[in-house]
Structure 1
Amino acid sequence: MAAPPYRSDCSGLVRICLLLGALWKIRAEQISYSVPEELEKGSFVGNIAKDLGLEPRELAERGVRIVSRGRTQLFALNLGRGSLVTAGRLDREELCDRSPKCVVSLEILLEDKVKIFGVEVEIIDVNDNAPNFGTEQREIKVAESENPGTRFPLPEAFDPDVGVNSLQGYQLSSNVHFSLDVQSGADGIKYPELVLERALDREEEAVHHLVLTAFDGGDVVHSGTTRIHVTLVDTNDNAPVFTQPEYHVSVRENLPVGSRLLTIKATDPDEGANGEVTYSFRKVRDKISQLFQLNSVTGDITILGDLDYEDSGFYEIDVEAHDGPGLRARSKVLVTVLDVNDNAPEVMVTSLTSSIQETSSPGTVIALFNVHDGDSGENGLVTCSIPNNLPFTLEKTYGNYYRLLTHKTLDREEVSEYNITVTATDHGTPPLSTDTHISLQVADINDNPPAFPHASYSAYIPENNPRGASILSLSAQDPDSIENARVTYSLAEDTLQGEPLSSYVSINSDTGVLYALRSFDYEQVRDLQLLVTASDSGDPPLSSNVSLSLFVLDQNDNAPEILYPALPTDDSTGVELAPRSAEPGYLVTKVVAVDRDSGQNAWLSYRLLKASEPGLFSVGLHTGEVRTARALQDRDALKQSLVVAVQDHGQPPLSATVTLTVAVADSIPEVLADLGSFKPSANPDDSGLTLYLVVAVAAVSCVFLAFVIVLLAFRLRRWHRSRLSKEEREDI
C-alpha cells in the first residue's frame, strides 16, 4: 500500500528537477561579477572565457566582443587571458550617485553563433570620500535670553559614499554652554543640532567658537569639520515657519529654461530684522545648483538648466528659511520629472552579412541589431518593422536584439540586390521613428540553362556557295551572371551521306555563327538537319538544344541535257522519216530534254534555231515536237537538216542544241534508196543498208518507249520530293 505515495513523491521530484533545469537555462545567458571601484585600468573583473565555456584562445577565433552601448566603455576584453578587465577608473559615485546598489550592464556577442550573453557587473563602494560640510564656517546668532534646552540646527555634512562608508555621526568640540544632539529623520538622514545647556550672558562672552566634526564608518575613518561661530544677540524668540513641510511638484522634462517651478514661503511673526526671512539651498550639490535657482528674497525656484528625464527623473532639494538674527527652518522640495517622447529609437547593427547565395534556405540570418530608446514607459517601447513586400522577416531575440532573416528562397534573376529599410518606432505621442538601411547582394549560382528564343530554326544557303560563308547566327540567353552566363555553342555529331556533319558546317563556339565548310551542290545535298547545343560555363555547366534545318537553294548551274534524239556513237547521223504526203502539222519527231536543276531553272522551252528549208518545219515551244509547217512539195529536198535549241528559264539561262536529219520519201524503199545518197558507204551493199534501216527504225521505237518511261519516272520522283519538302517546311 506504500507504493502509490512513493510514485507520487518521485513524480513531484522529477517536476522540480525539470523546473530547476528550465530556470538554469533561462539564467545561463546572464553572467554576474562584482568589482570594487577605483581600480586601475586593466584590472581583472572576471574569467569571461570560463563562464562562456570557451578556452581563452577561442575568444578571438569565435569573434567574441562587447556590443554594449553607452557614452563610455567601462570594460574591455583581454583576449590573451580570456578575462574581462576594466577599461578605465571606475567611480561608483559618478556612475550611480547614491543608489544602494550600482550595477553596470553590458552584452557579449558570440559572433559565429550570433548569440548574445548579458553581463552584470556590480560596482562595490569603497571609502574614497570624506564627509564635507560645503562651508568652512557657519555663524549662528543666539539670543542671550534663550532658555537651556533650546536647539539650533547645525550644518549637515554630505558623504557621497553609501552604506557604512557614508556619514555615520557627528562630534562637537567641548563647550560648557553647548552640547550636540543628533536626530535621525524618517529618511535615515542624521541632523545635528546644537543644544543650549546653560544660560548665556552676552556681556560675559559674546561669541562662542565651536568645531563640528562629521565622520564616516569606513575601515579607515574619514572626517570633515566646519567651524561654528555662535554670536549672541538680543532676543529673537520666533523662527521662520514654512507653509508646507514638503513641497511636491511635477514638471515635464521639456520645460523651457527660465521657467518658474514653484515658490516656497516661510513666515516669521517677529518684527524688524527679526522677521525678515530669506531663503537658501541646504547641502547644495553641483547637479542641483546647475539645474535650479532659488531667489533668496521671493522664494521663487526657477529652471536654470535643461531637465532630462533620462539623466534623472527625481530631485530632492533641501531648502531653509532664516530670519535676520539667524533662526532657521528647514523644508524639502520634491521635483518629479515627467518623461516626454524626445528621444527617437537608436538602432545599432552588431552583425551584418552583405551577400547571400540565392539558394540559401529560409531562416538564414542576415543581420543582428540592437534597438534602444532613451525614453521610459510607453515612450521607450519600440517596435521594429520592414516593408511587407520583401522576402524577409524580423525575429526578436535576447533583450532588445532583433534578427533579420530570409523568409523564403531568393532568386537573383528576379532581384539581384535588396535595399532593406528597418524602421524602429516608439509608442510615444507623437511616435518617433528611425530608419536603418541594410544593403544585401544576392550571389548568383548556375541554376538557369541557356535558352534559345525559338524552338527550332530554318536557314537557307544557295548552292555553289564559297567555303567559309556565314549561314546564320544563333544566340541563346542565360539569365545568370558572369561565368554562369557565358554561353558556348557546339554541333551534335552526325553523318550525311557517309561523311560527318562537321565536314559540311561548323559553328563559332563564342558567337554562335554557323559557317559552311564546303560548297554545296543542290543536286547532291538538298537539306541538312542539325542539332545545336548551347552550354554555359557554370559548375556544373547547364545546356539546351535546338534543331536547325539547313536548306540548299538551287542555282542554274546545269544546262539542259538532250535525251532524244541521242547523239550517234558510231559516227553515223540519225535520220527521222517524213512521208512526202505529210499534211501540215504532221509529227515528224520529238526532241526530249531534261535539266537536273529544279524550279524555273528546270523549265525548258524549245525553238527552231536553224533549218535547211525555212518554214517547212516548226518546233513546239514547250513540247519539243517537230511538225511540218506546210505540205511537202516536189521541189523540197529529200534531206532536210534542222538545228533545235533547248533553253531553261534560269538567270542567266543555259541551253543545248541538237541537229536533226529528216528524210522525205513516200515509201521505205525510196527512203532506203535515198539514204545511200545521204552518206555514201565505203563498201555499198543494198542488203546491208536494208538491215541497217530496219535496225534503225526498231532502235528509234525502243528509244522512244524508254524515253516515255524515263520521263514518267522523273516526273513521279520530282512530285514525291516536292511533296516531302513541303511537309518538312510545314513541320518547321
Structure 2
Amino acid sequence: MSNTSSHYRTVLERRSGSMQIHVIVLDANDNAPVFTQPIYKVNVLENVPLGFVLTTVKATDLDEGVNSEITYTFRTKSEKISQIFRLNSQTGEISVQGNLDFEEQEFFEIDVQAQDPEGLSSLAKVFVTVLDANDNAPEITVSSFFTSVPENSQSGTIIALLRVKDKDSGENGKVTCFIPPNFPFQLQKSVDNYYTLMTDGNLDREVVEHYNLTITATDRGTPLLSTTTYFPIKILDVNDNAPIFKEIFYKSYSFENNPTGASLMMLEANDPDWGTNSTVTYSILDGNDPTVSIASLLSVNTETGVVYALRPFDYEEFQQINFQVKAQDGGSPSLSSDVSVTLFILDQNDNAPQILYPSAPTDGSTGVELAPRSSEPGYLVTKVVAVDADSGQNAWLSYQLLKATEPGLFSIGLHTGEIRTARFFLDKDALKQSLVVLVKDNGQPPLSASVTVTVVLADSIPESLSDISSISTPADPQSDLTFYLVVAVAFVSCLFFTFFLVLLAIRLHRWRTSQLCHSGSGSFTGVPVSQFVGIDGVRAFLHSYCQEVSLTTDSRKSRIFFPIGSCTNTLTHQQVSGEPGFKYLPEDLNIANEAQASQEVPAY
C-alpha cells in the first residue's frame, strides 16, 4: 500500500500538462454612433417627383451586436419637414414625400439623429437647397377694364389696365406680353410689369361689332409657359350712317281708274346702324311740278314704305307722276336720304271714240253729202273722221257700215273711214241715202260711237239744192230698231197662230183620208182633182201645200213621196218603204217611158 502510493507520487512528480483558456470579453455599450460626415448638403429642383431620394445619411457604432444597431430619426421639430421629407429609420435614406415649392421656401435645415439601442446617439445636419424650376405660368391681373367703347372713339383711347407677373425667378420669371396682329388695339408697357390696352385706329361697328381680344403672357423659362386672357370688347353704335335705299331709282306702273287706297309699290331702305339709329321712317316730298300736288295723289306708310293711291288716276290727265321719297332714321341728330320715284300711269279703254266729222248738228238738221249719179265705183263721197282720247291699241279705230238705205251701194274703209261708192248708181236707187257708220276702238272691251251720214244723189248743184229742201231729218236709229223689234214679235206670233191652224187642218185631213182608204177604193175619191197637176207626166200636189216633190228612181219604178212636216220650201229625203203612215195609191203614170210606176202619198 505504501509502495503504490509512492509510485503514484513519483509519477506525479514526473509528468506535466497544459490547457488553453479562451476568455471572451463581453461588449459593453460604451460607444455612441458616429456619422460619416457631420453635414450633408443637397440641391434639388422643386419639381422633382414624389419619392425622389435626396441623400442617405450614414453612421457607424464601434460596439457590436445589438449595441451596434442604429436607428435614424429627425430631430427637427418642424411639422413641415416631416410632411415634405421622409427618413428611412434603418437605412438613413431621405426622400421627398411632399411638394417642394421654391416660391414658398428655398432652403431646409434638417437634423438627423443616429441612436443605438442603449440610447447613445449623435447628430448630423442635412442642408436641402430647393432650386427653382419653370413651373409657374405668368399671371395677368386686370386693374380696370371697359367692356364697351363707342365706334367714334379716337385712337389711343384706354380700354384696360393690367399687370403681368411670374412667381418664378431669373429667366423663368421674365415675361413678354402681346396681342394678335390686325386688331385695332395696341398693348403698351408702362411701369415694371404694368401694361395699358388702348385703341389703335378707327372702329366701325357696322364692320365689326364685337371683338374677343386675347392677351398672351409668355415667360422665358424652359419649357416656355404662357397664359392667355380674353377681353370681350363691344363696339357701341353711333348714328353715323344714313338710310340707304335698295335701288338708286324706283319706277312702277299702275292702270288708270285704280281704286282709292290701292297699293302701288313698296320702297325699302336699310340703315346699318343699330337700335333707334336704324329705325327708318318714310315720307313723300313734292315733285318738281308746282301744278301737281303729290300729297293729294299719293301717300306712303311711314313704317313699311308702301305707297298708296289717294284717288283714281286718269291717263288722259297725266301719264306719269315724278316724286321723291325721303327715308329718315331715328338717331340724334337724324340722318336721311332721298330717292327719285316715277309712277307710270297705264291707259285703259275708258274713252269711246269721238267723231269729229261729220259733226253732230245743233239745230236739229243733218249734214248732207253730195254724190253725182254719174259716179263710178270707188268714188270718194266723204270721210268720217274720229279720234280716241286713249292711247295704244285702245285708240286704234275701225269703221264699218252699220246700216244703209241701199246695202251694197256704198263701202267704207276699215281703218280710213273713207266712204266710197261700191257700184254705179241705178235709176231705182233712192235720192237720199242714209248711212249709219259705227266707229269702234280696239280696247277690251271695245267702245264705239255711231254717226248718220246722209248722201244725196244729184247730177248738178241746182238739182241737189231743190232736192235737199224736201229731205227730212232721218229717223232716230234707236226708234227704227224698236219698230223692227215690234214687227218681228208680231210676225212670230202670227206665224205661230198660223202653224197651229195648219196643224189642226192636217190632223183633220189625215182622219178623213184614213176613212177613205178603209173603204177599199183604189182611186182618190173625195180628193179634189184641182189639187193635182201634171209635171212631165207626174202628178203632184199643188204648191199650196208648201211642199216640194222629191223623186227617187230605180230600175223598175219611180216613187213620189211627201214627208209630213211644216210648210217649207225644202223637203227631206226619207226612206218611205215600209214606214208607217204611208199609203200606196196605184195610178197610171208615165215616167221615163216606164210601163208601171207607183206613187206614194203620205196619209194625212
So what's the TM-score if we normalise by structure 2? 0.69
Which of 279, 289, 300 is the equivalent residue of 1:507? 300
Is the CA contact 1:273–1:325 (under 8 Å) kept in the aligned structure 2? no
Instruction: After superposition, give the CA deviation of every residue in 1:457-498 in whole Å (9 maximum; x if it has no partner).
Output: 111121112222211110100011111000011122347463
2:249 paired residue number = 456
Question: What is the alpha-carbon distance in structure 2 between the residues aligned to residue 296 and residue 553 of structure 1?
Answer: 113
Task: Give the fraction of aligned pairs with identical amino acids, expressed as a percent.
Answer: 60
Question: 1:591 Cα shift?
Answer: 0.6
1:353 paired residue number = 146
Which of 315, 336, 339 is the equivalent residue of 2:108? 315
2:83 paired residue number = 290
**Given the alignment of the two structures, is residue 602 of structure 1 paired with residue 395 of structure 2, yes or no?**
yes
Change (3 A) 1:247 1:648: same
Where in structure 2 are the equivalents of 1:133-148 lying within 5 Å? none
**Given the alignment of the two structures, is residue 469 of structure 1 paired with residue 262 of structure 2, yes or no?**
yes
Is the CA contact 2:29–2:63 (under 8 Å) kept in the aligned structure 1? no
Letter in 1 for 2:456: A
Which of 673, 678, 685 is the equivalent residue of 2:466? 673
Question: What is the alpha-carbon distance in structure 2 between the residues aligned to residue 425 and residue 406 of structure 1?
Answer: 23
Question: What is the alpha-carbon distance in structure 1 between the residues aligned to residue 472 and residue 434 of structure 2?
Answer: 14
Question: What is the alpha-carbon distance in structure 2 between the residues aligned to residue 299 and residue 679 of structure 1?
Answer: 157
1:648 paired residue number = 441
Question: 1:425 Cα shift?
Answer: 3.2
Question: What is the alpha-carbon distance in structure 1 between the residues aligned to residue 245 and residue 172 of structure 2?
Answer: 60
Question: 1:433 Cα shift?
Answer: 3.2
Question: What is the alpha-carbon distance in structure 2 between the residues aligned to residue 277 and residue 566 of structure 1?
Answer: 151
Question: 1:499 Cα shift?
Answer: 4.4
Question: What is the alpha-carbon distance in structure 2 between the residues aligned to residue 574 and residue 326 of structure 1?
Answer: 163
Question: What is the alpha-carbon distance in structure 2 between the residues aligned to residue 257 and residue 250 of structure 1?
Answer: 16
**Given the alignment of the two structures, is residue 516 of structure 1 paired with residue 305 of structure 2, yes or no?**
no
**Given the alignment of the two structures, is residue 266 of structure 1 paired with residue 59 of structure 2, yes or no?**
yes
Question: What is the alpha-carbon distance in structure 2 between the residues aligned to residue 629 and residue 383 of structure 1?
Answer: 112
Question: What is the alpha-carbon distance in structure 1 between the residues aligned to residue 216 and residue 405 of structure 2?
Answer: 109
Letter in 1 for 2:309: A
Change (3 A) 1:294 1:575: closer
Instruction: After superposition, give the CA deviation of every residue in 1:153-186 in whole Å (9 maximum; x if it has no partner).
Output: xxxxxxxxxxxxxxxxxxxxxxxxxxxxxxxxxx
Question: What is the alpha-carbon distance in structure 1 between the residues aligned to residue 466 and residue 28 of structure 2?
Answer: 194
Letter in 1 for 2:302: S
**Given the alignment of the two structures, is residue 401 of structure 1 paired with residue 194 of structure 2, yes or no?**
yes
Is the CA contact 1:535–1:544 (under 8 Å) kept in the aligned structure 2? yes
Question: What is the alpha-carbon distance in structure 2 between the residues aligned to residue 280 and residue 468 of structure 1?
Answer: 106
Change (3 A) 1:662 1:332: same
Letter in 2 for 1:556: N
Question: 1:655 Cα shift?
Answer: 0.7
Letter in 2 for 1:604: L
Where in structure 2 are the equivalents of 1:163-178 lying within 5 Å? none
Letter in 2 for 1:658: V
* SS state at 1:677 partner: coil
Which of 429, 432, 455 is the equivalent residue of 2:222? 429
Question: 1:414 Cα shift?
Answer: 1.3
**Given the alignment of the two structures, is residue 303 of structure 1 paired with residue 96 of structure 2, yes or no?**
yes
Question: What is the alpha-carbon distance in structure 2 between the residues aligned to residue 591 and residue 311 of structure 1?
Answer: 120
1:410 paired residue number = 203
Question: 1:645 Cα shift?
Answer: 0.8
- After superposing the two structures, state which structure 1 stretch, 386-395 or 349-358, moved more: 386-395
**Given the alignment of the two structures, is residue 587 of structure 1 paired with residue 350 of structure 2, yes or no?**
no
Larger Rg: 2
Where in structure 2 are the equivalents of 1:9-88 lying within 5 Å? none
Letter in 1 for 2:51: G
Where does the alignment leave 5 or more consecutive residues of structure 1 unmatched? 1-232, 681-732
Question: 1:408 Cα shift?
Answer: 2.1
Letter in 2 for 1:520: F
Question: What is the alpha-carbon distance in structure 1 between the residues aligned to residue 404 and residue 118 of structure 2?
Answer: 167
Question: 1:429 Cα shift?
Answer: 3.2
Which of 371, 390, 409 is the equivalent residue of 1:616? 409
Question: 1:396 Cα shift?
Answer: 2.5
Is the CA contact 2:263–2:307 (under 8 Å) kept in the aligned structure 1? yes
Question: What is the alpha-carbon distance in structure 1 between the residues aligned to residue 137 and residue 316 of structure 2?
Answer: 86
**Given the alignment of the two structures, is residue 629 of structure 1 paired with residue 395 of structure 2, yes or no?**
no
**Given the alignment of the two structures, is residue 556 of structure 1 paired with residue 349 of structure 2, yes or no?**
yes
1:487 paired residue number = 280
Question: What is the alpha-carbon distance in structure 2 between the residues aligned to residue 440 and residue 659 of structure 1?
Answer: 89
Change (3 A) 1:325 1:469: closer
Change (3 A) 1:339 1:660: same
Question: What is the alpha-carbon distance in structure 2 between the residues aligned to residue 579 and residue 558 of structure 1?
Answer: 37
Where in structure 2 are the equivalents of 1:96-175 lying within 5 Å? none
Which of 229, 232, 235 is the equivalent residue of 1:439? 232
Is the CA contact 2:280–2:328 (under 8 Å) kept in the aligned structure 1? yes
Question: What is the alpha-carbon distance in structure 2 between the residues aligned to residue 235 and residue 462 of structure 1?
Answer: 131
Question: 1:282 Cα shift?
Answer: 4.3
Is the CA contact 2:287–2:324 (under 8 Å) kept in the aligned structure 1? no
Q: How many residues align?
A: 447
Which of 129, 139, 144 is the equivalent residue of 1:336? 129
Is the CA contact 2:287–2:322 (under 8 Å) kept in the aligned structure 1? no
Question: What is the alpha-carbon distance in structure 1 between the residues aligned to residue 109 and residue 154 of structure 2?
Answer: 58
Question: 1:381 Cα shift?
Answer: 3.0
Question: What is the alpha-carbon distance in structure 1 between the residues aligned to residue 365 and residue 56 of structure 2?
Answer: 153
1:212 paired residue number = none
Which of 327, 335, 356 is the equivalent residue of 1:542? 335
Question: 1:661 Cα shift?
Answer: 0.9
Letter in 1 for 2:268: S
Change (3 A) 1:234 1:571: closer
**Given the alignment of the two structures, is residue 386 of structure 1 paired with residue 172 of structure 2, yes or no?**
no
**Given the alignment of the two structures, is residue 375 of structure 1 paired with residue 168 of structure 2, yes or no?**
yes
Where in structure 2 are the equivalents of 1:669-708 lying within 5 Å? 669-679=462-472
Letter in 1 for 2:41: H
Question: 1:306 Cα shift?
Answer: 2.2
Question: What is the alpha-carbon distance in structure 1 between the residues aligned to residue 430 and residue 139 of structure 2?
Answer: 124
Change (3 A) 1:309 1:640: same
Question: What is the alpha-carbon distance in structure 1 between the residues aligned to residue 110 and residue 409 of structure 2?
Answer: 148
So what's the TM-score if we normalise by structure 1? 0.57
* SS state at 2:245 partner: coil
Question: What is the alpha-carbon distance in structure 1 between the residues aligned to residue 38 and residue 416 of structure 2?
Answer: 141
Instruction: After superposition, give the CA deviation of every residue in 1:320-379 in whole Å (9 maximum; x if it has no partner).
Output: 556677776554322122233333333333322121111112222222233333333333
The root-mean-square deviation of aligned C-alpha atoms, in Å, is 2.6
* SS state at 1:678 partner: coil
Letter in 2 for 1:605: S
Change (3 A) 1:295 1:657: closer
1:177 paired residue number = none
Question: What is the alpha-carbon distance in structure 1 between the residues aligned to residue 123 and residue 29 of structure 2?
Answer: 21
* SS state at 2:470 partner: helix
Is the CA contact 1:638–1:665 (under 8 Å) kept in the aligned structure 2? yes
Letter in 2 for 1:549: T
Change (3 A) 1:676 1:302: closer
